[in-house]
Structures are given as C-alpha cells and as structure tokens.
Structure 1
Amino acid sequence: MCDLTGRVAIISGAASGIGAATARTFARAGADVVLGWFPGDPHDVEQVRDSVAAAGRQVVVHELDVSSTASVDAFARSAIDSFGRIDVVVANAGIARTVPSLELTDQAWNQVVEVNLLGVWRCFRAALPYMQEAGYGRLLATSSVAGTVQCWTEHAHYTAAKAGIVGLVRSLAIEFGKHGITVNVVAPGVIESPQSLDPINSLGAEGVAAAGRGSPVGRVGRPEDIASLYLYLASEAASFMNGQLLVMDGGRSLVVSD
C-alpha cells in the first residue's frame, strides 16, 4: 500500500540522518527525489544520490539553505524543471545549539528558529502553489519530542521552534485539505544520527547510549524508523491522515524519571 511509483519528493537535510534514510526509502518505494543539501554539511550527499540511483530512480542534488527564501524557492523550482511536479515535501533540515537560556541572545535565537521553524514554512510555501494546481500533495515536517511531549534544557530556542511546527501543520491542514493536500508532522525521540551524536550541542555518544537503556524498547531510534513512517504518510495509505502529530520514540516519553 505504501507505493510512491510516479511520485516526486523533495527532501531538505537529505545528506545524512533522517533525510538520507527517507530519500533511500522513498526511492525503493518508486519515487524520484530531489535532495536538498546544505553546502556546509560535511556529510557526503553523493552517497545518498548513488543509493537513490541504485534503486532505479531519478535523483537531483540541489544546494539548499532553508534560512533563505530564494534558495528554497529555487530548490522547489528544480523539482518542477526536472520532473514537472512536486508530490511530497519532507521539511527535515534542522540544527541544535546548546545555549543556557540567560545567555540566549536574539541572534542565537533567530539562527535556530530561522532553520527549524521558518525553514519548514519556506519549504511548504514554495511547494504549495504547484500542489494546489495539481490538486494533490503531502507536506511532512520533522519536529521533535523536545517541545511537543517533553522538554530539553538549555535548548529553549530549539524546543520553541519544534513546538511551532505543530501549530503550523495544523493550520495548513485545515486550509489546504480541500485541495487534496494533507499536512502532518513527526516528532522523533532520540535517533542515532550525526546531530544526536554531537557531544556539544546534543547528547553525544554516551547520552545516546543512556537514552537507549532508558527506552521501553531497549534502544534509541534509527533514521530508517522515521523514514518508514514518512513513507506511510507520503502514500495513499495515509490519505485520511491530516493535521496530526505522530510521536515516534519507542515509548521513551512515557517513562517517568526518578
């Protein structure tokens, strides 16, 4: 049922982690993919490109800075120029920065919100006219358990942005459902990825391992776990799913800490 044959997906933050896994998963399900790659990202987007091509799908790599409207608009346009359509947006690009709240300047706040919240909106806004004309679309965003069902100390700007995505998704779901466009958001828990393994701005390897030990399922998430959920949401199987926040954390948010 989760078949994306003939669909075109654009994915931000596609060089590693959840974005890369989603690109590979979508390609195996039949989608052609445009990979949004931030030039400052040290991860090799060419490996992702090769994986999509190996699945027999067409793939475009496009430089993308989600804090720039012009960059995001060009990203969406590249899908239209290459494939003539945009069926699915996965607004996944995000950053985390550890800053004690009383040291959180406007500049530091804005940097994270620009990427994590406004970046989602820019990706959605750029695709919506094409989707509305086609009468079909799937808008998907990556939030976090931090800011939705849990908190994260010294990350007030991050949690505020991730919470804001939920409000954005719900509003757009109501506004654009009549055009055949559904909008949903996934809140991952701890996923073993380059971001979570960062010992300065996130948990680091030891923190990730501890989160796994504290999970009801005995492990942290893998990028492929989230990619599988995105595949469902992008498919016809989820055609009646709209405006929803789906938490995927192995049940960790249900655990009461001592």
Structure 2
Amino acid sequence: MFEVITQTQPDDYQSLEILKDAYQKIGKPEESLRVSRRLSEAYFNVGSYTLAMQECEVILLKEANAPEILAMLGEIESRLQAAGHSLVETGAKVGLVAVSHANGHGSSNGSAEGGLIDSKRHAHLQERGDDQLAKFLVMQQLFPEDEVAAGLETTNHLNKDLTGQALASSLLDKICRVETDKLDAALSQLIDRTKFAYVPLEYYDVDRQVARMLPDHLTLGRLFVPFDLVSRTIMIACCNPFDAAGREAVQQSLDYTVTWYLARPDAIVKALQDIYRLESRA
C-alpha cells in the first residue's frame, strides 16, 4: 500500500519512513536502502535539510562513494551556509558519533552507560508533526475538520515557545479531552497506520533513570517517555507518531536501538509529571 502511495506522492516522507522500517523488519536491506534514498530526496525537496543529511549519512555507511548522495550533501551544506546556519563540526562526515562528556576534557563520565550522544547537535525541531496528525484525523473521519483545526491552533500556540521544564501539549488530548471512546478510536487507527505497538503507560512502573536518558526538550518538549531498557534497546512511548523530526532527534541523541510505542496522552503527561516532579495540570 505504501509503495503505491509513495509512487503517486514521492515527497510523502511519512509513508517512506514506514516503508523503510517495514523492509528492515522483514529482512530486506536492499529495499530498505532503496527507500532510504527516496526518503533523503523527499526530506531535501520539502526543505528538511538536517533530516536529509542524516539520511544521506546512513546511506553512505553502506555505499561510501554514492555520487548522487555526496552531491546532495554538498548542496545541503551550501544551502544551510547560505541561510546563515552553521553546520555542526562533523555534520557532513559519515558515522562520527560523539559521546557526551560531562567533564569537558574528552573523557566519558560513565554515568549514562554509553547512551548519550552530544545532544547539543539536535536539529531544528520546529516541525512537530501535528499538522500531519491533524490531516490524518480528518482523513480518517475521526473528528470534524473545524474541531481539528481549532485544536491544532490551540496546540501550536501552547507549544510555540516552550522553555526549561515546560510540558508540551498534545493535539490528541486537546481534541479528545474526556471523550475516551474517540481517543481509543484514534489510537486504534494510528496503530493500524504506523504499526507501533501500544503500551498502557498508566500501569507501567517507569524507571526514572531510563526516562532521564533523553534531554528535557525531547521528553517534556515532545511528550516522549523512555520507559524501559533491555540490553541495547530502549523503549519509548509517544502520543504523536508523526513527529518525525522529534524521533530523528531521539535516535541521534541515543546510542541505542529505539523501539517506539503509542500511549495515551494523559498517561504520558502523568508519567512525565511524576518523573520530573512537576505540578499536575488543572
């Protein structure tokens, strides 16, 4: 299905992401790499240059001399520099992972079990995926368009200038409020669409140490809850699977395999309030 969608909508990076992950899961690395090339082009075409760069670097790990990918990286660098952005020191190089150091002298502090990569390199995260989520809710006829538009406007306003330990707002939460049946229907459709597993986070004993492995701007600011760690795999709950920029930033911030789960927005908010000892919302 997603092959058909991406053929008619080549810049639909959400569908390309799902298609890429699907090929990885069924053991078709060649197909996954093919889709990864298309995904880098889609990111580039919509102006998400940092995400395009990250995708190019993944490709170059497999095909170090791919000329079109190297050319794209050069073009990305030129455009970012022209726009006045400073590239990270090794951003256009392949596979250079910088472990976070607390002492400032280049030695590991050992406290994060090797898990954190330099979080100061996180990409521009203005794009939160709420527009895509809103479009999905309307297309699936889960909510009236005017209701979704009003919820989106409110959510965008609340999330516009988050700082410190300010807790982000969820579009799903704003639209559904206390209508649990509608929320359940929306979550069910999202699970079918994304193939994310569901986690009843409200009943889960979240390990605070695991949850704090991500910086605040990705937990509180994106409503992401790392809730368990098994070997080299970290499990993270979210309530908006369309937040591609946020998920990419998580992957760049952690030297672990990330498995994503869907959870109820109120359960995520409650978990974060407990983890960070924040006051409950009225």
Which has the larger share of strand?
1
- Which structure exhibits the higher relative contact order, with contacts defined as CA atoms closer than 8 Å and separated by 6 or more residues? 1
Compute the TM-score of the two structures, normalised by the length of structure 1: 0.29
Which has the greater radius of gyration?
2
